[in-house]
Amino acid sequence: MTSVATSRSLWRTAAAWLVLAATSAAQGQQPPPAKKEHSLTEATSKAFTNLKPLQEKQDWAGMLTLLEGIALAPGSYDEALILDMKAKLYATTNQLTKAIGPWEKSIEISDKHGYFSEKQTLETVSLLAQLYAQEGSTSKVPAQQQQYFGKSITYFKRFLDKTPKASPETMMAYASMLYYRASADVNKVDQALLKEAREVVDKGLKSAIKPKDGFYQLLLTLQQQQGDLAGSAEVLEFLLKGSPAKKDFWQLLMASYLQLSEKSREKDPEAARDYLVRAIVTCERAQALGHMQTPKDNMNLVSLYLMGNQFSKGTELLYAGMKSGKIDSEPANWRVLGRYYLEADMNLQAISVLQEAAKLFPKNAEIEVQIAQIFLQMEKTRDALKHAKNAIAKGNFETTKPFSVHYLVAYTAYDLGEIDEANAAIQSAEKFPEAAKDAQLPRLKNVIVEAINERENKAKDAAKAKTAPKKTASSR
């Protein structure tokens, strides 16, 4: 839902009404009676008699040509009336943009001399408001767009000031214009215009027992622009109660609750948790109705449970989802599953699902690294070494630095007394640029070198002892 779509619908409705009204005027209906002191000149009256046959043939172009040929005194009643007729003819032929100038000029002249009745004036003012709104909505030039919206607002205000019971469509169109004008510059939103738009919408909501949905949609847009997340969540709940099939509203409601949770996290943790629960329930309500069931949506629900420290539920949903295809079975998701099993102190399950993932994605080194790290935490050094070596053999690292894996092999191999393997790994680690910045590497390298030296010294001593001549009895 967007207020843009709503307003465009209004412009189409307004245009249809405009064409219908203009067609009626051009097909023989006399213009509204003016005040008695104003009348057409004889030349203009005579020219009008030539309009009828053209009108019967629906020769709108011919009628416009005839009107263009009438000599007019500037500011005269004749000029105001003919400008009004030309505008209606343009509207009849769906040349709505061309209708604006004549109508605007006719109103300007009438305002100075009081030619038109208030009813006719307000009808034209309303049309100008909607036509300028339409021009603004289709313009691609920001400055021009805002100029049109500004004129639209001016005409809407004039119309509404004299029309206590305006139609819902008019009020919605006016509120939309205020919103567009206020939010034109995202870095400098006009809060005063937003407030005025909100007042128009509130008035529209109170004007009927069952207000049009467009008012609620506009209210929702304004609330979000004003940062009224709690208010927008309330409106969304109301709209979904009446129209649960609107799947976009479910997404928006869940997002609103998540934002409210985030904003409350530091000041009111209890409220933050409550909003997070509402977000989870919103997603599950939507899914029960058949919405929000894409793999991404299902993964989002898992994330919500994990955010709420519901690791058992979150991991259960994630594992079942990947096995059933409801969630994408991809390395990143399996690694998330392993990580959160670890968060839940379920180390064996973490190892189990990651080993399952390693079989599904035999070329993925990151999974092997994660398994190695978990085994290291569990003090199963031999297993940690095995999977660290597997990671190096696969080699296609995504986020892990190869340096750290070679270092891990060196560390675990040394711990297991496999000095030569540790030495080879430390030499491989030294080839990466990270080695120059790592404070632990020189220490590990030193102890490995010491172990090698000690082993070599022992070997030398043993060799000497073996080759040394044995003492005989006589030598004693």
**DSSP output for 336-374:** HHHHHHHHTT-HHHHHHHHHHHHHHSTT-HHHHHHHHHH
What pLDDT shows up at residue 252?
93
d(CA 105, CA 112): 11
pTM of the entire predicted model? 0.70
Task: Name the residue type at position 123.
Answer: E
* pLDDT of 259: 94
* pLDDT given for residue 471 in this prediction: 60
Q: Which domains does the chain have, with CATH numbers?
A: 1-32+54-208 (1.25.40), 294-360 (1.25.40)
Task: Provide the CA 3 distance to its chain's centre, in angstroms.
Answer: 14
Per-residue pLDDT of the chain (476 residues; tens, 9 = 90+): 333 443 344 334 344 433 443 343 334 344 554 445 678 888 888 888 888 888 888 888 998 998 888 888 899 999 999 999 999 999 988 999 999 999 999 999 999 999 999 999 999 999 999 999 999 989 888 889 999 999 999 999 999 999 988 888 999 999 999 998 888 888 888 889 999 999 999 998 888 888 888 888 899 989 988 889 999 999 999 999 988 998 899 999 999 999 999 999 889 999 999 999 999 999 999 999 999 999 999 999 999 999 998 988 999 999 999 999 999 999 999 999 999 998 888 899 999 999 999 999 999 999 999 999 999 999 999 999 999 999 999 988 889 999 999 999 999 999 999 999 999 999 999 999 999 999 999 999 999 999 999 988 888 878 787 776 766 555 54
Burial (CB count <10 Å: 0-12, 13-18, 19+), residue 325: exposed
- DSSP code, position 400: S
> Minimal CA–CA distance to 325: which of 333, 284, 248, 307?
333
